[in-house]
Amino acid sequence: GNSVTQMEGPVTLSEEAFLTINCTYTATGYPSLFWYVQYPGEGLQLLLKATKADDKGSNKGFEATYRKETTSFHLEKGSVQVSDSAVYFCALRSYGGSQGNLIFGKGTKLSVKP
């Protein structure tokens, strides 16, 4: 079945450090891929998405490229800020068949220190 695996946290970085959060997936067909972020006390917010192979999603300095050959969708940011401290969730959504429920990874907690 479809599944998402993302790196275990927590991840602690200093401000302005480079961030990578790994995400790999298993899916039949051609899924769409998403990164959601959950700031403390808030709901899940869409950070970025990519709907086909080689697409790059980007938002707020974060990027992720849909790599079909490695079934990956790693999240990167060149210079993190304290305000990026949150839990990040990788997710996929299958195309066709399903009515579109999201399948999530376990989440990676990021703490950025000043």
Closest CA to 109 of 87, 89, 94, 91: 87
Interface mask toward other proteins for 28-57; x: CB under 8 A = ---xx---x----xxxxxx--x-x------
Pairing of strands 11-14, 108-113: parallel
What is the nearest approach in angstroms of other proteins to the Cβ of residue 46?
5
Q: Is 104 in the site for other proteins (CB under 8 A)?
A: yes
SS3 label, residue 61: coil
Which residue type, as a one-letter code, is found at position 70? Answer: T
Q: Look at the block and give the residue holding tokens 């790196």.
A: 7
**Binding segment (CB under 8 A) for other proteins, from list 56-64, 69-77, 78-86, 90-98:** 90-98
> Total number of residues binding other proteins (CB under 8 A)?
27
